[in-house]
Amino acid sequence: MNRMRLRIAERLKESQNAAASLTTFNEIDMTEIMALRSANKDDILKRTGVKLGFMSAFAKASCLALKEIKAANASIEGDEIVYRDYVDLSVAVATPKGLVTPVVRNCESMEMLEIEKEIADLGKKARDGKLTLEDMAGGSFTISNGGVFGSLYGTPIINLPQSAVLGMHAIKEKPYVVNGKIEIRPIMVVALTYDHRLLDGREAVTFLVRVKEYIEQPAKMLLTL
């Protein structure tokens, strides 16, 4: 194994051994956020050069949910729990040499387009092999998008010393009950793996429900301070 793969293996095994990991799931109806993206992506690309995807929406939704569920943005240091009033968002990026997690700093203070651009820039640096240690240092919460490879379900591994990681998956059309009627809707399964030493089930489930609410009602997300 090359040095990066060895280091990745060490970190993943360390996480499995140290954290009391548990995963909770939910389904998100992507209809509204897909409509928002479809209506604006061409104009945004023309005006700013930014390709609008879904990562920025999930990043924004996560930042808002983390304001309520502060333990999901905390870490254990010795016998102490360290809480943060900022979100340094680690974004999992697949490269030819392995998985890396560059960090979007102070993500909670950024608008969606700013987040999208920063994620795109970090992703390019990662694939070009130009990430620095500073780019990957820290991080208080992670998002991993296995959906770009077609994954339907997955249980992401916590990036220690963080306490939680959000896993996005592929969008698939499914029969879905809407106001008592069955409709075909684009559905994404999302997963939150969390460290049970820090988060209880109520907090973890509430976090995922908040993300679901913000993605399904993007106007609510964009109008929330």
* Enzyme catalytic residues: 196, 200
Residue 218 DSSP SS3: helix
Q: 10 Å Cβ neighbour count for 79?
A: 5
The partner residues of 183 in beta bridges, in order of sequence, read 176
Asked if 87 and 63 count as a contact pair (C-beta separation under 8 A), the reply is: yes
Tell me which residue of 41, 43, 66 sits closest to 53, measured CA to CA: 41
CA 148 to chain centre: 13
d(CA 76, CA 143): 19
DSSP letters spanning 33-85:
HHHHHHHHHHHHHHHH-----SHHHHHHHHHHHHHH-GGGG-EEETTEEE--S
The conformation of residue 158, written as its DSSP 8-state character, comes to: P
d(CA 207, CA 205): 5
Backbone angles phi, psi at 181, to 5 degrees: -120, 145
Asked if 55 and 91 count as a contact pair (C-beta separation under 8 A), the reply is: yes
